[in-house]
Amino acid sequence: MSLPIAPKPALRRFHQARWDEPVIFELTTPGERGVLVSRPEPGVREAVGDVVADLPAGMRREKPAALPEMGQMRVLRHYLRLSQENLGADFNIDVGQGTCTMKYAPKVNETLISTPKLTELHPLQDQGDVQGILEIMWSLERAVAEISGMHSVSLHTSGGSTAIWTNIAMIRAYHEANGEGEQRDEVITTIFSHPSNAATAKAAGYKVITLYPDADGYPDAEALRAVIGPRTAAIMITNPEDTGIFNPRVKEWVDLAHSVGALASYDQANANGILGITRARDAGFDVCHFNLHKTFGTPHGCGGPGSGANAVSEALAPFLPGPVIVRDGDRFALDSDRPQSIGKVAPFYGVAPNLVRAYAWIMALGAEGIKAVAETAVLNNNYLMKKILEIPGASAPYATGRRRIEQVRYSWQELFEETGISSEEIGIRASDFGMHYWTSHHPYVVPQPFTLEPTESYSMAELDEYAAVLAEVAREARETPEVVRTAPHNQTVHHTHHDDLDDPERWAITWRAYQRKYFS
Amino acid sequence: MTQPFVHPYLPNTAPDVKAAMLAAVGAASTDEFYADIPEGLRLDRPLDLPAPFVAEQDLVRHVDGLLGRNVSTRERLSFLGAGTYNHYVPAVVDEVINRSEFLTAYAGEPYEDHGRFQALFQYQSLMAELLNMDVVNVPTYDGFQATATSLSMAGRMSGRRGVIVASDVLPDKFSRVHDFVRTNLDLTVVPTVNGTADVAAVAALATEQTAAIWVETPSYSGAVETAIRQLADAAHAVGAVLVVGTDPVGYGVLTPPADQGADIVCGDIQSLGLHQWFGGAHAGFIAVHDDPRFVMEMPSRLFGLATTDVPGEVGFGDVAYDRTSFAHREDGKEWVGTAAALWGIAAGVYLALMGPQGMADLGETLLARTRYAQLQLSAIPGVALTDTALHLREFVVDFSAASVTAHAVVDTLRAQGIEPGVAVGEYELLVAVTEMTGQGDIDRLADAVASVVAASDTADTSTSNTEEKSA
C-alpha cells in the first residue's frame, strides 16, 4: 500500500501497554544496589564504637529484610513499565468515574510545587521562614470560605472521607459543649449521599438512619420529617446527590434540622456543578467540606493524597482542628490556643502540595472562571446525558425529563434484561477502547448502574467519543455478547479470577504470604 | 469589544462549541440546567475572589513569588523532627511518582490500572518484608490514623474498652487518637521510666477488660522500646493484643516488633522516601499476621494476587472487599476512601532501591550519628540527656541545669541559621538526627549550643551529668 494513509476507523484501536513485568521480588540479583547511604564518618565511629554490635540483647535484626537487590536503572525501568500499564486521567477521557470529578490537574501546578522551598520545608520551622506557604494556605482558606459562604476553614485533612469524619467530630463536640452529647445519638443521611457520611457517623458512635428518595428521585422531605427529632445530632447530606439531582427543598431540610436543635452537614466533596451558583451557608448549613482533589483540580494520585477543606459557620469555628492560621497585617502565624478544638485530625496542616495546587487552580480562574467551570461542567453533563440516552438499553432513572447538575446515575437494566450483560461487564469491555468506567457506589439502588461525570475538562468531541464507545459496547452486548463476556482483550492482563481473594486460606496479600501459602 | 471568556482548562467555552452543545440539548442558556435550584438560594453576585492570573506565566510569577519567601531546611541546618523527618529521597522515587500515569490516576479496575495494583501490592509486600508480617494495607491517611484504627480493631475484636498506653506518645498523635477512639475505647496512660515502658506497672494494670497495650517505638522522646516481648506477654496473658506504633525506618538493623510478639504494627511511612512537604506527606500503614480475625477488621483496601485466563499473567484484585464501607456503608469497618496511595508507591520504590543492605546501612548511620550527637551535646556542661534508653534518631536534651530555656536555645540558634530541634518543655529540646546531618553538622550544633550555655550567667556547671553509656 502506498500513500495516502487510509482514514481512521470510527473507534480508537487502543491497546494498553503489556510489559509482562514480574513481581519485583523476582528481579533480585544478590549484591546489586539501587542507592547508597551516607555512612558514619571515621570520627563518629571512633566516638561511638560499633553501635549495631552494641545493641541490647534481642534488638539486633537477625536476618536482613528480604527486600530485592537491584541496580538503580532496573528499579526505574520496572516502575516506569508499571506506570505505562496504568491509565492516568491525563491519558483517557475520564468521565466514567462519576462522583469523583476527574478533571484536568494543570501541569503548571506541578512545576510550582516542585521547588525545594516547599518540598524541603519542615512544619515546625521558624514561622518567619514559612510565610510564603502560610500566606497561600490562608488565602486558600479565605477563597473556600467565600465559595461556601462559611466563616472559617481548615485544610488539614488529606482525603474526603477524613474531612467528613472531621465534620461529624466537630458536630459531636458542639453538642457535647451544649450538654446534649448523650441525648443526640442519631445521624440522618440519604442513600444517594456518599457512603462515608454513614460510615464516619457510625465510627463516631452514632446510630445511622438512611433515607431513600421519593418516587421522582428527590430526597424525601416527608421521610425526613418522620425520623428527625430530639435525638438527631445532624443531617449529613450531599446535594446534588449522586444522581445529579439537586434537592430543591434543601433549605427546608436544613430548617427542619435546626428546628429540632440538630446541625446540618453538607458533603460538598463534589461541588463542581454549583461553584459560584449556590453556597452551603446560604442554605443554612453549619458545616461542609470540599475535596480539593475533586473540585479544585489537584491530582488523584492513584487514590490519594487528596485534600479536604472543612468549612464552618461562626458558631462551629471554635471546634475546628488546630492550629489555625491567623493574619496580623502582612504576617501570618499558627494559633494553637483553641480550647474547644476537636484537636488534631492530621499530623500537621494538610497536604501542602495539594494546597498550593488548589490555590493555583483558583488563581488561574478567578470568580468568572470558577463559575464558568460549573456552567461548563453542567453543560457537558446534560450534553452527555442526551448522547447516552440515545443508546438503546440505557436509561437515567428518576426525575424524567429534568435537567441534571454535574453527573447522572444511569442504568443498563434494559440492556441487562435483554442480553444478560451486566454493567460491570460493559465497563471492562469499555476499557478495551482506552476508557475507564465505574459502576457506582453500593448498594445498587439503581439497577445495573453507571455514573458519568464529564466535568468541565473534556471537549465536545471527546464526549462524543466516550458515548460512541458505550454505544458500541451496547451493540456488542446484543450482537456479539461473547466479546463482552470475555473482555478485556486489549489490556495488560486478561479476565481475572476473583475467587481466591475472599478465601483466607488462599488469599495472598503480600509476596511473602504467597510464597508461604503456595511454595513452602 | 470584550472577548468572550475562553479558558484553556475549559475547551467547551469556545463560543461556537458552547452554542452547538446548548442547541443539541435544546437549552437557551446554561441557566436552564439549574432550574431545580430555588431563586432564593442562587448567589446573585460574582464570588468575591482576588483577580486571577489567567496567563500561565503570570500565575507562575505570582505563586513563585509567594513560595520564594519560604526558607527551607536546605538553607538552614535542621535537627527538626517530631513527626516529620528530613531523610534523603532518591531521585528515582520522585521520577516514578511524578509519572502522569500514576499521579493522575484514581480508581481504575485491575485491568486499565494494572500498574497501580501491582505497585501497591509491591508496596504491601516490601513493607511486609521490612516488618516480618504477612499483611500490610494500602496506606491510610497517616500514622495517627493508622494507630487509631489499629486500637479500634483491637477493641472490635475483643469487645473490650481498655487500652493501656505504655509509652510516651507525641501529644498531637495522642490528641488525634483520643478523639477518634473515645466513643469505643478508654485510654489509660502509664508513666514511662527512663524513657521506656514500665513493664511491671503495665502488666499490673492489664485485665480482662483490656483490649490492647499500645507501645510507641521510637517514642515521642525518640526512645526505642526494648521490652516488646514482655509487653506482648502481658497483653496476651489477659487475651489482649499488643499494638506497636513505630517508624519503619530502623528495621534494617533493629528487630521488627512482630519478631517480639506484636500483633498489630502501625505507623507512618514519611521516612521512607517522602519529602518533608511542610508536614504534608504522611501515610499510615497497618500490618498484621495473616489471620482473618485481624484482616477482617482492617478498613483499608488490600490488594491481592489473582490468576487470569492466561497462564503466567500476574493479576490483582481487592481482598475481602466486603469488609469495607464501599461495600456496606456504615456496616463496613470504619470507612475507606481516598487516602495516600501515591505515597505508598513512593515508599515501595524507596525500599526497592534501598534493598536489605541499604536499610541496614541506614539504620546503622542513624544509630551512630544519633549516639554521636547525644555524646557531643551531653558533654556540654549543664546539658543532659533525659534518659539512658536506646535512641534511633531522636532524643531529648535538658538545659535545666544550665538554666537556659529550650526556647532561648531555639531563638539563639535560629539567628545563626540552625534549627536545633523542637522545644518540648521549658528546658527540654527534642533533637532529630538523620543521614542528612553529618558529623560536621552535629559539631556545629554542639558548638552553637555550648556558646549559648556558656553565655548564660546562671549556668550551674556543678550539676552532674546524667549521661551514661546506654546498654
| ipTM confidence | 0.98
Q: Does A37 touch chain B (CB under 8 A)?
A: yes
- Write out residues 238-277 of A within 8 Å (CB-CB) of B: 245-248, 250-251, 274-277
Instruction: State how far the Cα of B245 lies from the Cα of A352, in Å rounded to an integer.
Output: 25
Give the pLDDT band of residue A34 (cuts 50, 70, 90). Answer: very high
Would you call A118 and B70 a contact, using CB atoms and an 8 Å cutoff? yes
pLDDT of residue B2: 73
Answer yes or no: is pLDDT of B461 > 70: no
Which residue is listed with cell 478567578?
A: A366
Instruction: State how far the Cα of A331 lies from the Cα of A334, in Å rounded to an integer.
Output: 10
Locate all alpha helices (DSSP H) within B54-113, ordered by sequence: 56-67, 91-97, 100-103
- The stretch A479-486 carries a mean pLDDT of 98
Mean pLDDT (chain B, rounded): 95
pLDDT of residue B4: 87
Of A276, A350, A359, the CB nearest to B280: A350
- Partners of A188 in beta bridges: A209, A235
Q: Does A429 touch chain B (CB under 8 A)?
A: no
**Domains contained in chain A, CATH given:** 111-364 (3.40.640.10)
Smallest CA–CA separation between B440 and chain A, in Å? Answer: 9
Answer yes or no: is pLDDT of A84 > 50: yes
Answer yes or no: is pLDDT of B358 > 90: yes
Answer yes or no: is pLDDT of B77 > 90: yes
Smallest CA–CA separation between A444 and chain B, in Å? Answer: 10
**Domains contained in chain B, CATH given:** 6-47 (no CATH), 91-351 (3.40.640.10), 356-455 (3.90.1150.10)
Answer yes or no: is pLDDT of B463 > 90: no
Smallest CA–CA separation between B131 and chain A, in Å? Answer: 8
A-chain residues within 8 Å CB-CB of B71?
Answer: 117, 125, 128-130
- Summarize pLDDT for B138-152 with one digit per residue, the tens: 999 999 999 999 999
Give the pLDDT band of residue A343 (cuts 50, 70, 90). Answer: very high
Mutate to test the interface with B, among A101, A196, A200, A302 (most CBs of B within 10 A): A302
- The stretch A337-364 carries a mean pLDDT of 97
* Nearest residue on chain B to A365, alpha-carbon basis: B52
- Summarize pLDDT for A258-267 with one digit per residue, the tens: 999 999 999 9
Would you call B292 and A245 a contact, using CB atoms and an 8 Å cutoff? no
Q: Which of A367, A479, A161 is nearest to B180 (CA)?
A: A161
pLDDT of residue B13: 97
Q: Does A160 touch chain B (CB under 8 A)?
A: yes
Answer yes or no: is pLDDT of A150 > 50: yes
Q: Which of B140, B461, B85, B74 is nearest to B271 (CA)?
A: B85
- Summarize pLDDT for B11-38 with one digit per residue, the tens: 999 999 999 999 999 999 999 999 999 9
Tell me how far CA of residue B66 lies from CA of A353, B80, B233, B278, in angstroms.
14, 23, 54, 15
* Nearest residue on chain A to B146, alpha-carbon basis: A346
pLDDT of residue B1: 56
- Summarize pLDDT for B96-124 with one digit per residue, the tens: 999 999 999 999 999 999 999 999 999 99
Of A248, A364, A492, the CB nearest to B38: A248
Would you call B325 and A199 a contact, using CB atoms and an 8 Å cutoff? yes
Would you call B32 and A100 a contact, using CB atoms and an 8 Å cutoff? no
Mutate to test the interface with B, among A124, A155, A172, A519 (most CBs of B within 10 A): A124
Answer yes or no: is pLDDT of A182 > 50: yes
Mutate to test the interface with A, among B13, B42, B49 (most CBs of A within 10 A): B49
Of B24, B278, B335, the CB nearest to A196: B335
- Report angle CA B331, B333, B336 to the nearest 5 degrees: 105
pLDDT of residue B3: 83
- Summarize pLDDT for B406-418 with one digit per residue, the tens: 999 999 999 999 9
- The stretch A324-347 carries a mean pLDDT of 95
Instruction: State how far the Cα of B201 lies from the Cα of B233, in Å rounded to an integer.
Output: 14
Pairing of strands A324-328, A331-335: antiparallel
Give the pLDDT band of residue B460 (cuts 50, 70, 90). Answer: very low
Q: Please check whether residue A490 is in contact with residue A14, taking contact to mean a CB–CB distance below 8 angstroms.
A: yes
pLDDT of residue A56: 97
Would you call A67 and B355 a contact, using CB atoms and an 8 Å cutoff? yes
Q: Which of B151, B137, B284 is nearest to A203 (CA)?
A: B151
Give the pLDDT band of residue A8 (cuts 50, 70, 90). Answer: very high
- The stretch A321-331 carries a mean pLDDT of 96
Instruction: State how far the Cα of B350 lies from the Cα of A474, in Å rounded to an integer.
Output: 44
- The stretch A448-477 carries a mean pLDDT of 98
pLDDT of residue B466: 45
> What share of chain B has pLDDT > 70, as a percent?
97
Within 8 A by CB and 6+ apart from A343, the residues are: A321, A322, B172, B175, B176, B178, B179
pLDDT of residue B467: 44
pLDDT of residue A14: 97
B-chain residues within 8 Å CB-CB of A488?
Answer: 111-112
Q: Does A87 touch chain B (CB under 8 A)?
A: yes
Answer yes or no: is pLDDT of A294 > 50: yes
